[in-house]
Amino acid sequence: MPESATGVALNTIEVRYTGGMLALNRLLMTLQNKRMPVAGFTLGGDSDGMRATILLGCPPESALRYTAIICALEDVREARPAETIEMALIETSRDWRAPAEQSGIEAHEDDGTLVASGEPEKIDAFLAALGDGVEDVVRIGPVARPEAGGGV
């Protein structure tokens, strides 16, 4: 589980809701009024409606309690834990396929740039395995990938 700069574990929840800006305002006010330890917030939309991915800097038990509070909001269709992953965009002169497989990450090349994703610790191991072969790297994360199964 990744840690924030303060050393507290980051727990990710994904919230799916309907209702547009008013619903977003209610969600944000709930985060603020309940003093939830938000370490990151990403908003997106798809054909199913709006989605907010929230990184909470707290123990897992507290994150589950906060998820239950969010789930009770009238516009929220679903709120559930999500897997935290990290992404990295890498330029390397070295063959990356074997280190990617050994590190247990997903990677592919897109127009000369290596795109790698996985758990933060595995991305660290992958970059260490590449060693001096890394010419440039941009790390993006932590971000969330929804887990399979139902919501809270």
Give 73-82 pLDDT, tens digit per residue. Answer: 999 999 998 8
Domain end call among 82, 101, 116: 82
Give 36-85 pLDDT, tens digit per residue. Answer: 999 888 888 777 788 888 989 999 999 999 999 999 999 999 999 888 78
Give 109-123 pLDDT, tens digit per residue. Answer: 998 899 999 988 899
The reply to whether 151 falls in a domain is no
Domain end call among 82, 109, 129: 82
- The residue count for the chain: 152
Q: What is the CA radius of gyration of the chain?
A: 18
Please tell me what DSSP assigns to residue 44.
E
In this structure, the answer to whether residues 18 and 75 fall within a common structural domain is yes
In this structure, the answer to whether residues 102 and 70 fall within a common structural domain is no
Print the domain residue range for 54. 10-82
The reply to whether 66 falls in a domain is yes
- Helices 20-33 + 60-71 axis angle, to 10: 140
For 133, the token pair is 């072969």
Whose structure tokens read 């709006």? 50
CA atoms within 13 A on the CB side of 81: 12
What percent of the chain clears pLDDT 70, i.e. is strictly above it?
88
pLDDT of residue 49: 83
Whether 149 shows a pLDDT value over 50: the answer reads: no
- How many domains does the chain contain in total? 2
At residue 1, the 3 state secondary structure works out as coil
In this structure, the answer to whether residues 44 and 23 fall within a common structural domain is yes
